[in-house]
């Protein structure tokens, strides 16, 4: 008996990679021919890290079925890990090596925090889990916001009060200055690097989903009790999804911090609004639909910028677009309409093929 | 005399003095049973008698207050659900619990997870080991599905199956873990007489094909008297009668428990 699911999942993955590559090529051509506004140029790297965040959050929300509202917290950890490395060990390295190590460090540190936070959080379900992840996200942001960190010949210094109480030697350097954050960052993230990281994140997540790990994660999502009755450890597979998503969010954070000259742990950067926005990407793109997350992230990142000419009406129109997208994606009549269109397209394509 | 022969026989599951209370209610009180290897054993009783609670105790969903559960000579009391499955007990549920958004094939493949393992890096980099294992998984899962005549529906979502086939898939999934003992919780619930008859054939078939011992909870007396060799009747958490099916079902006490005074 011939099974079709493998071709189906392969086609889905290849189409997703192709879509990202096509987007990259179009943007590069526009850049080369000088057809891109400076506004769009500034948004190329953000598009990449928002897509990475949306895709990784979808692993938790869509595949593992846990509503996590603290994803910005893991992005924050990755961002600060990457930035601290850029200011210290990485400062003397060439740009590409510094970035490469920063990305690995960001993923590892963020993954470790994902594990530690996952231990209490994954014991909870549903709304409780959502509230506690939200709280952890805020805790991470607020703690980093008051930290002072410096380094000198005697080693690392740490304070929650001010830079003076770090007691640095004259040769010392203050890295994190509390609410002012980290300044004079290298700003060396590129669009190409962002796309490479996005494809890498997609590669890991799609292959994970289409393996025994993905099956087990989805089995636990669909019915935890049944999964345990056939020997699948629910907590282990939930943790796997959570840690993987945290580590990938950490990578997005490293990209974020390498795209700025000043990194601050403020609400506008890593607050719950950011986490909610990532959730909006996931929900609008379709829960569990990885490709949809990228499309939603790109559209909803560009849209508010493109709507600036509307001034006061900007957020009004943005909200209307959100509702329209939601209806188009999930309303039964919209789905029926889409299927009718697809069927008629297929019919006409079939007719043309027959005519030839 | 019968006690003497019992000790010489091959006992797969021995349950001794099992009890659990919820608050002040003794849901299961001093439950004992010995099930021989290869036997088809029935557990019956009126609603609320504690039958499903016994299943939940045997599979580690609840931890017993007192008592011991010995599977194939090995104590498994107090172990986790997943560990008990690895020791050799699988089950189905009174209200069907499938992985509704996974395909029929993936439902069975998930249950085969313990037997066809490969690592995380194998999955991400699609190594030859990954391909080989997935191929073997597909073949094994399809061969299990074909026993239940479900192979044509292999790529449907589990939720798209009709009710009777969902029951079958649940049994198939439990058997995929290669259990020594399978617990069937009211497999005929919600089935019409035709489906019930098919189910009896299926149960006879899995005994032949998988050489598995079966413990079954059932309300349908026709099914029970048709296939069970021995029975235990529970009432208010306590054993009312146990023994050969015919003798137990004709016992006035049992009839009274079911029909009232």
Give per-residue pLDDT as tens, B99-130. 999 999 999 999 999 899 999 999 999 999 99
Domain that holds residue A263: 5-355
pLDDT above 70 (res A1): no
Conformational region of residue B15, where left means phi above 0, alpha means psi within -120 to 50, and beta covers everything else: beta
* Interface test mutation site (partner A, options B61, B62, B82, max chain A beta carbons within 10 A): B82
Q: Which of residues 174-203 of A touch B (CB under 8 A)?
A: 203
ipTM of this predicted structure = 0.92
Q: Which residues of A touch B117 (CB under 8 A)?
A: 212
Q: Does B102 contact A215 at a Cβ distance shorter than 8 Å?
A: yes
Report which DSSP code applies to B66: E
CB pairs under 8 A between A and B: 108
Query: Which among B178, B208, B237 is the end of a domain?
Result: B178
CATH number where A246 lies: 1.10.3470
Q: Is residue B81 part of a domain?
A: no
Do B241 and B221 lie in one domain? The reply is yes
Cross-chain CB nearest to A219 (options B59, B99, B114): B99
* pLDDT at B8 (0 to 100): 53
| B174 falls within a domain | yes
What's the number of domains chain B is made of? 2
- For chain A positions 239-268, those within 8 Å of chain B (CB to CB) are 240
- Write the pLDDT tens digit of every residue in A183-235: 989 899 999 999 999 999 999 999 999 999 999 999 999 999 999 999 999 99
B83 within some domain: no
pLDDT digits (tens, 9 = 90+) for B124-159: 999 999 999 999 999 999 999 999 999 999 999 999
Asked if the structure places residue B208 within a domain, the reply is yes
Q: What is the 3-state secondary structure (H, E, C) of A80-108?
A: HHHHHHHHCCCCCCCHHHHHHHHHHHHHH
Asked if A231 reaches chain B (Cβ–Cβ under 8 Å), the answer is yes
Give the distance from residue B21's alpha carbon to the nearest chain A alpha carbon, in angstroms.
21
Mean pLDDT within B21-40? 93
Q: Is residue B101 one of the residues assigned to a domain?
A: yes
Do the Cβ atoms of B177 and A211 come within 8 Å?
no
Vertex B190, ends B188 and B191: CA angle to 5°? 60
Structural domain tally of chain A? 1
Q: Is residue A133 within 8 Å of residue A273, measured between CB atoms?
A: no
Strand order in the sheet with B181-185: B89-91, B181-185, B213-217, B40-44, B230-235, B238-244
Chain B contact probe: residue of A3, A65, A212, A243 with most B CBs at under 10 A? A212
B189 with B63, same domain: the answer is yes
CATH code for the domain of B191: 3.40.50.300
Both tokens assigned to A281: 């990407």
State whether the Cα torsion A269-A271-A276-A278 is positive or negative. Answer: positive
Cα–Cα distance measured from residue A90 to residue A101, given in angstroms and rounded to the nearest whole number: 8
What digits encode the pLDDT tens for the residues A68-97?
Answer: 999 999 999 999 999 999 999 888 888 899
């Amino acid at each position: 008996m011939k099974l079709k699911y493998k071709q189906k999942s392969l086609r889905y993955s290849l189409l997703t990679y192709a879509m990202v590559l096509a987007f990259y090529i179009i943007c590069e051509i526009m850049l080369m021919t000088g057809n891109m506004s400076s506004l769009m140029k500034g948004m190329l790297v953000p598009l990449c890290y928002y897509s990475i965040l949306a895709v990784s959050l979808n692993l938790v929300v869509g595949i593992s079925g846990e509503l996590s509202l603290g994803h910005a917290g893991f992005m924050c950890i990755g961002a600060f890990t990457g930035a601290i490395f850029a200011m210290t060990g990485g400062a003397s390295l060439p740009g590409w090596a510094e970035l490469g190590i920063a990305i690995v460090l960001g993923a590892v540190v963020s993954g470790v925090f994902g594990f530690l936070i996952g231990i209490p959080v994954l014991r909870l379900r549903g709304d409780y889990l959502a509230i506690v992840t939200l709280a952890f996200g805020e805790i991470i942001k607020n703690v980093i916001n008051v930290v002072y960190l410096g380094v000198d010949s005697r080693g690392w210094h740490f304070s929650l009060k001010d830079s003076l109480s770090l007691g640095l030697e004259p040769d010392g350097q203050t890295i994190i200055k509390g609410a002012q954050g980290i300044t004079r960052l290298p700003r060396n993230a590129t669009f190409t690097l962002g796309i490479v990281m996005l494809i890498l994140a997609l590669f890991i997540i799609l292959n994970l989903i289409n393996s025994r790990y993905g099956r087990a994660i989805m089995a636990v999502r669909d019915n935890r009790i049944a999964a345990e009755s056939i020997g699948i450890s629910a907590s282990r597979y939930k943790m796997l999804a959570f840690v993987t998503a945290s580590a990938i969010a950490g990578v997005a954070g490293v990209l974020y911090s390498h795209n700025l000259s000043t990194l601050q742990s403020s609400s506008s950067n890593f607050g719950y609004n950011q986490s909610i926005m990532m959730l909006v990407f996931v929900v609008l793109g379709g829960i569990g639909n990885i490709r949809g997350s990228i499309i939603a992230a790109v559209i909803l990142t560009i849209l508010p910028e493109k709507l600036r000419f509307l001034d006061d009406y900007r957020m009004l129109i943005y909200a209307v677009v959100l509702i329209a997208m939601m209806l188009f994606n999930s309303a039964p009549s919209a789905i029926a309409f889409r299927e009718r269109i697809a069927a008629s397209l297929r019919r006409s394509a079939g007719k043309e093929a027959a005519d030839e | 005399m019968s006690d003497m022969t019992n000790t010489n026989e091959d006992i797969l599951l021995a349950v001794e003095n099992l009890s659990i209370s919820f608050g002040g209610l003794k849901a299961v009180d001093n439950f004992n049973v010995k099930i021989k290897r290869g036997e088809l054993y029935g557990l019956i009783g009126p609603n609320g008698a504690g039958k499903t609670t016994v299943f939940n105790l045997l599979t580690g969903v609840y931890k017993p207050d007192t008592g011991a559960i010995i599977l194939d000579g090995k104590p498994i009391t107090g172990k986790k659900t997943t560990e008990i499955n690895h020791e050799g007990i699988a089950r189905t549920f009174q209200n069907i619990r499938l992985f509704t958004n996974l395909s029929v094939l993936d439902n069975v493949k998930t249950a085969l997870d313990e037997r066809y393992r490969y690592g995380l890096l194998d999955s991400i980099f699609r190594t030859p080991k990954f391909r080989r294992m997935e191929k073997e998984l597909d073949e094994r899962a399809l061969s299990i599905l074909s026993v239940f005549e479900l192979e044509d529906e292999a790529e449907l979502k589990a939720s798209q199956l009709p009710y009777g086939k969902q029951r079958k898939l649940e049994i198939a999934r439990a058997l995929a873990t290669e259990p020594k003992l399978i617990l069937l919780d009211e497999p005929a619930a919600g089935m019409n007489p035709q489906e019930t008859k098919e189910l009896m054939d299926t149960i006879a078939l899995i005994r032949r094909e998988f050489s598995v011992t079966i413990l079954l909870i059932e309300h349908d007396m026709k099914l029970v008297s048709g296939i069970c060799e021995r029975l235990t009747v529970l009432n208010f958490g306590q054993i009312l009668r146990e023994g050969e099916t015919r003798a137990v079902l004709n016992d006035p006490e049992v009839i009274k428990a079911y029909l009232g005074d």
